[in-house]
Amino acid sequence: MTTSKACALPILITRVAICIFAVSQTMLSPLITRIGADFGLGLGGSGFLFTAYYISNIFFCLVTGKIIALIGKRTAMKAGLIGYALVTFGFAHAHAFAAACVLISCMGALATFIEAVGMDLVDDMSPVDAAANLTMTHGIAGIGMVGGVLYSGLMLYAGYDWRAIYTMMSFAVAAVAVLFCIIRFPRMHGSAAGGLAELKHWFTRRDLYPTYLALFLYVGAEGAVTGWLATFMSDNLGYSPLLASAGTAAVWAVVTVGRIICAGLVGVRYTVRTLVSFLCTVCAIGVLLAAGVSMPLLFWIALLLIGTGLSALWPLIASTALDAGNNGGTVMSLILFFGYFGAAVIPYVIGLVGDAAGLRVALVASAFVFAALGAVVRFMMPRHISEKRTEA
């Protein structure tokens, strides 16, 4: 571990780069139906953009560890940032839906790559333990989640179309890439090879199967709720695009604060089983309330409940895999693999439900996914994982 003073600026710029993956995810939410409409699509067809964004992540994240081992972490991050800037610019200027799907798929893969490499870099340079570092870094990434949806909403309000919004995003990422290239980083140890044998070992750990299923359910449900929330607020509740974006941003703001608070509570005794069960219940109640109420005050209270429920779920669930004996690139790749598999499937299915029965019913279906997540952790996850306590 290197000294904290020498690493302060490199950690900061790496966390800014990680925020790009977060911005990339949430900025799509207010734009999804506008992009679909540009290609003559309804909710179901528009929802396929979520699948396109996440589908390549399923496979790409499995080779991230190998790429890092081959070319090094800094070079990998530079390549990821430059590549992301280029494909985002291409997506903004695509005029065929097939081309748009290919390019947004590349965007998703590179955003995941930036996240995984950045987490590895920060873990190398951070003076705190892995659990606190993971939670804090994802808390800061939450700023990007808030920023992404607000950026899209404000730009729509200012009269820009989705193409201009993505074009400006590509220029911003290019600027971050330049900063990353000129900032001096300390020497860091190399990464493990992340070969097939190691991957197979972690795939076949049966005690981690419930963790993998929980990641599938959580990331998919999170993507479904936050991905369709702005559309629900606009189409069903009559909010302006700016206020709809602000509602989604409010959820991510609560998530951000919650994760940063949790980073300071890592040393306090807790069990994953208890906390995840509680947070899933809060989240399901929030989603059901948002889907069922008409009073604005109750709806915004529901959004706060959703954000509170989402806040610490991912770090808690992911930590059950990281605590299993290895916190390197291969395990993180598998954590991302199962999460993005859920993100590729569940939001698309929820979009189809919305097409068939309306977005209120689709949100109710999302609440049941959170209930299933709580059941998996409470009743299927082994006790030595789900009831493990952490002390400072």
Q: What is the pLDDT of residues 195-222, one digit of tens each?
A: 566 667 667 778 888 999 999 999 999 9
If one compares 6 and 260, the residue with the highest pLDDT of the two is: 260
The predicted model gives 77-85 an average pLDDT of: 92
Return the residue matching tokens 């750990």: 205
Instruction: Give the domain extent around 369.
Output: 4-184+191-386
Whether residue 329 has pLDDT greater than 70: no
Confidence (pLDDT) at 97:
92
Question: How many domains are contained in the chain?
Answer: 1
Confidence (pLDDT) at 4:
56
- Confidence class of residue 26 from pLDDT cuts 50, 70 and 90? confident
If one compares 119 and 130, the residue with the highest pLDDT of the two is: 119
Name the strand (E) or helix (H) holding 159: none
Confidence (pLDDT) at 297:
93
- Confidence class of residue 391 from pLDDT cuts 50, 70 and 90? very low
- The pTM for the full model equals 0.77
Is 348 within the bounds of a domain?
Answer: yes
Whether residue 109 has pLDDT greater than 70: yes
If one compares 289 and 348, the residue with the highest pLDDT of the two is: 289
Return the residue matching tokens 């179901």: 44
Is 392 within the bounds of a domain?
Answer: no
Whether residue 139 has pLDDT greater than 80: no
Whether residue 386 has pLDDT greater than 70: no
Whether residue 147 has pLDDT greater than 70: yes
Q: CA-based diameter of the chain, in Å?
A: 56
Whether residue 150 has pLDDT greater than 80: yes
Return the residue matching tokens 């409940």: 305
Whether residue 392 has pLDDT greater than 50: no
Confidence (pLDDT) at 220:
92
Confidence (pLDDT) at 327:
45
Using alpha carbons, list the distances in angstroms from residue 30 to 125, 247, 380: 35, 11, 36
The predicted model gives 34-48 an average pLDDT of: 85
Using alpha carbons, list the distances in angstroms from residue 283 to 8, 271, 305: 35, 18, 6
Residue pLDDT, tens place only, 165-203: 999 999 999 999 998 888 877 766 555 545 566 667 667
Is 373 within the bounds of a domain?
Answer: yes
Is 391 within the bounds of a domain?
Answer: no
Q: Say how many C-beta atoms besides its own lie within 10 A of residue 270's C-beta.
A: 18
Whether residue 1 has pLDDT greater than 50: no
- Confidence class of residue 376 from pLDDT cuts 50, 70 and 90? very high
Confidence (pLDDT) at 343:
86
Whether residue 257 has pLDDT greater than 70: yes
Is 90 within the bounds of a domain?
Answer: yes
The rounded distance, in Å, linking the Cα atoms of 104 and 100 is 6
CATH number of the domain residue 234 falls in: 1.20.1250.20
Whether residue 157 has pLDDT greater than 50: yes
Whether residue 387 has pLDDT greater than 80: no
The rounded distance, in Å, linking the Cα atoms of 82 and 78 is 6
Confidence (pLDDT) at 268:
53
Torsion angle of the four alpha carbons 352, 291, 340, 311, in this order, in degrees rounded to the nearest 10:
180
Whether residue 232 has pLDDT greater than 80: yes
Is 162 within the bounds of a domain?
Answer: yes
Of 75-89, 226-240, 247-261, give the lowest mean pLDDT range: 247-261
Spatial CA neighbour of 207 closest among 386, 14, 3, 34 = 386
Q: Pull the structure tokens for residue 145.
A: 């989640």
Name the average pLDDT for the chain.
82
Whether residue 2 has pLDDT greater than 50: no
Whether residue 245 has pLDDT greater than 60: yes
- Own/partner contacts of 357-364, CB < 8 Å, gap of 24 or more, are 358/236, 359/43, 359/228, 359/231, 359/232, 359/235, 359/236, 360/232, 360/236, 360/291, 360/292, 361/291, 362/224, 362/228, 363/225, 363/228, 363/232, 363/287, 363/288, 363/290, 363/291, 364/287, 364/288, 364/291
Is 363 within the bounds of a domain?
Answer: yes
Whole-angstrom Cα Rg for the chain: 20
- Confidence class of residue 3 from pLDDT cuts 50, 70 and 90? very low
Whether residue 380 has pLDDT greater than 60: yes
Residue 142 in 3-state DSSP?
helix
